[in-house]
Chains A and B, each alone.
Chain A
Amino acid sequence: MLRSLLPRLLSSVAVFLLIAIGLFTLVRLAPGDPIDMMVPPELAGAPRDAYIASVRERFGLDQPIVVQFWRWLGGLMTGDLGFSYTTGRPVGELLAGRLGPTALLMGSALFIGLVIAVPAGVIAAVRRNTIADYTISSVSVLAIAVPSFFLGMLAIYTFAVKLQVLPSSGMHSTGRDDLGDLLLHMIMPVGLLALANAANFIRYVRSGVLEELEKDYVRTIIAKGGTRTRALRHALRNSLMSLITVLAMTIPIALSGAVVLEQIFSWPGMGQLAIDALGNRDYPVLIGFGLYIAVLVLICNLIADLSYTIIDPRVRTAR
């Protein structure tokens, strides 16, 4: 198994390096100079130039580009992603600080999404072309088609403005940090993200179970006098196995959904950090975010490959 994984690992490292070079080049080619925004407005003439020079030196921007790249790459290896242009704080620290809220949001939404999607998808597959199937499929299509930010605004309008039962933004009310308060803040963003995830997964579960139910072994079970439940149990096991791979592959995509919802509900996660950096042209933060996504995508791909090998003995022996 290790032998089949090693080339994939190496190709992932190569892809990561390519992305890193791409991102670095991109920043150097970018129009505009973010340093301009850091100069206090009261400075003019010579003091202004001196200030800009000092900032350039502080960030190492006065060095030749190759030197800058080597330094940057060396820094990356030691976890040093540079400093935010706007706050002056280390990018690694900024990203790490936002990881918790985003992980909480995504983790609970993935979990709840699965808890909804597996039974719903199985019901839709087993009761194919019945009211139950149509209802489940329609709801999942609706949840995919209606943008989550619109649903989010509708939810805020309903539950925060009209009914006033849920807080409209943030993770905590001011002055409170107990679990109940946190859970109350989580209901809307987690609920909507879970709905989006579930809508996605339901289609995979449904088509996966349908595919298994048509296989020969299911017919054999029935032919030998086995019950439908028994046949379903076998089919379910086989189809849910492939769901693990799908799950690993969709985690980076689910992060997009989290970013949008963080923006609506002012959830203090990585998405908000990235959107703020976008507004401020804070290149180091954006690059750090980009590298983080690249690592996430590559790791999730490796996990998908690996889970495939572990779950399915045929793949293991075939390689």
Chain B
Amino acid sequence: MTDHGHSPASTVDVAPTSQESSPDKLAWRRFLKNPVAVIGVLALLITVLASVLAPVISPYPPNAIDLGNVRQPPSADHLLGTDSTGRDVFSRLLAGGQISLMVGFLAALMAVAIGTLAGVVAGWFGGIVDGIISRIIDIMLSVPAVLVIIVLAGVIGPSVPMLVVVIAGLAWPTPARIARGVVLSLREEEFVQAARALGSRTGFIIFRHLVPGVLPPIVVSATLLVAEAVLLESSLSFLGAGVQPPESSWGNMLNEAQSLTVLSSMPWLWVPAGLMIAVTVLSAMAVGDGVRDAIDPRKNN
């Protein structure tokens, strides 16, 4: 990462040996000392691993219908029971995790890429460019993604790629605003002024000096965006505007459990999926907060 923009080493937990006190290492050590963040990382890792390995560990194909075994409570055969068409809930939960996490990570990655570029450009060039980009950011920040996607899904049909693109297309203003703010202050720093005076090209300055400086706060924003995107995807799939059956996602598993009979007497059909969403979102948020505290310890105290 970078060797600027960090606060001086805090004296509390650091041995003043030159090897160990690089800002990155310090941040990493502060992060490991934050129990909530570490639990978040572990929970997220387990979820990601379970989803990636889903084809291997799923006891049944997630879409395999078994009409002889409908709405069975959890048992040794079916760890989390079966749904209204006899599909194994545990297998569907793993498959759903795959889609939910993929949408979350891809959308956050795209949003961060667009947002960083837009923010850096706005902050660096200023003037009309900044005016236009900032105005767009202002308006986009209050655009309700759920509602836009409902309209789009109704008109062009719901699909996973559409979900990723639209979530990213609506989420980039948050990282953009952060990147813009950092660049506005970096622009005045001496090393940037020096690069300019030496005749470095704009592209070089942006990618060599500005983007690395912007990265730490952007990483924080990215983890929070993953949480947001997972929540969005599950809400949309719940409403029927996201992942479509028979493909499973955590959101549409809850959608299929909306009847009062399922709600009252078959909790295995909806509680696990709801818990998975909550745990994943909470973990991503905890990681984001942990990274923020680790790279900028002043903010916390």
Closest to B146 in A: A256
Q: Which of B142, B151, B267, B301 is close to A297, meaning CB atoms less than 8 Å apart?
A: B142
Determine if A260 is an interface residue (Cβ-Cβ < 8 Å): yes
Given A31-B156, A278-B150, A286-B151 in contact, is the A168-B260 Cβ separation under 8 Å?
yes
Task: State the majority secondary structure of interface residues on A.
Answer: helix
Most chain A CB inside 10 Å of its own CB: which residue of B146, B148, B151: B151
Secondary structure at the B interface, as helix, strand, loop or mixed, is helix
Flag whether B144 is at the interface (Cβ < 8 A).
yes
A37: Cβ under 8 A from any B Cβ = no
Does the CB pair A147–B155 fall under 8 Å? Answer: no
Closest to B277 in A: A147
Of all chain B residues, the one with the shortest Cβ separation from A15 is B139
Q: Does B129 contact A (CB under 8 A)?
A: no
Give the residues in chain B near A148, CB-CB below 8 Å: 235
Cα A27 to Cα B151 in complex, Å, equals: 10
When A and B form their complex, what is the total count of cross-chain residue pairs whose Cβ atoms lie within 8 Å? 141
Does the CB pair B143–A275 fall under 8 Å? no
Stretch touching chain A among B10-18, B80-88, B199-207, B236-244: B236-244
Contact residues of A between 125 and 175, Cβ < 8 Å to B = 129, 141-142, 144-150, 153-154, 156-157, 160-162, 168
Question: What B residues does A286 contact at CB under 8 A?
Answer: 150-151, 154-155
Contacts of B238 in A (CB 8 A): 147, 149, 260, 263
* Pick from A141, A160, A283: contact of B285, CB under 8 Å: A141
Size band of the interface chain B makes with A: 35 or more
Q: Are A145 and B285 in contact (CB under 8 A)?
A: yes
**Closest residue to B147 on the A side, CB-wise?**
A293
Binds B, one of A48-56, A59-67, A246-254: A246-254
- B142-186 vs A: 1/0 string, CB under 8 Å? 111111101111111100000000000000000000000000000
Interface of B toward A, CB cutoff 8 Å: 135, 138-139, 141-148, 150-157, 227, 231, 234-235, 238-241, 251, 254, 257-258, 260, 263-264, 267, 270, 274, 277-278, 281-282, 285, 301
Apart from the given pairs A144-B281, A146-B274, 15 other A-B contacts in the complex at a CB distance below 8 Å: A26-B155, A31-B157, A141-B285, A145-B282, A148-B235, A255-B147, A259-B150, A274-B154, A275-B150, A275-B239, A278-B150, A297-B142, A297-B143, A301-B138, A301-B139
